[in-house]
Structure 1
């Protein structure tokens, strides 16, 4: 993978993370960097699973994108469950 491909994967992962976040109801208190990281991981995992199941055609694939967004939504749900909550109070 080239530097350009890696940069594109990070940008696409951030977009996928935001789309996954939009599918999760409520307002999870997770930082932007964690949302982006979740999206990047979901994008790579979705691509890998799409290749395993033969859903890719060499170019853009609707099913691959749907799988990536679904994995991002699942990842956001998982992070919301495991990420420590802020108390919001000041001393």
Structure 2
């Protein structure tokens, strides 16, 4: 069941990251999910390192880290994907 939640979280975080990055990112959905999952894992590790992983209420700072890392990954992967497929 946790594998399914990782895919759902990766999809949401990946789509939010694509919204944050300006311009069009022609990467497929599976790559968006993969980038979102990696962004979630790295964002969690970053939140633990900073000491803000567990807060009272919604962990907004952790989610901002997750989407931020995923946005950096989308900005990095998107041009590589375009070059690969042209």
Whether the TM-score (by the shorter chain) exceeds 0.5 is: yes
Q: Which 5+ residue runs of structure 2 have no aligned equivalent?
A: none
Could you tell me which residue of structure 2 aligns to residue 83 of structure 1? 81
Which of 27, 40, 43 matches 1:43? 40
Structure 1 residues 9-88: aligned runs within 5 Å: 9-57=6-54, 60-85=58-83, 86-87=85-86
TM-score, normalised via structure 1 length: 0.82
Instruction: Write 1 or 2 for the structure with the bigger share of helix.
Output: 2
Contact 2:13 2:66 in 1 (8 A): yes
RMSD: 1.7
Q: How many residues align?
A: 84
Contact 2:26 2:82 in 1 (8 A): no
Q: Which 5+ residue runs of structure 1 have no aligned equivalent?
A: none
CA separation in 1, counterparts of 2:48 and 2:17? 21
Looking at CA atoms only, which structure, 1 or 2, has the larger radius of gyration? 1
Q: Which runs of 4+ in 1 moved over 2 A?
A: 84-87
CA separation in 1, counterparts of 2:31 and 2:79? 13
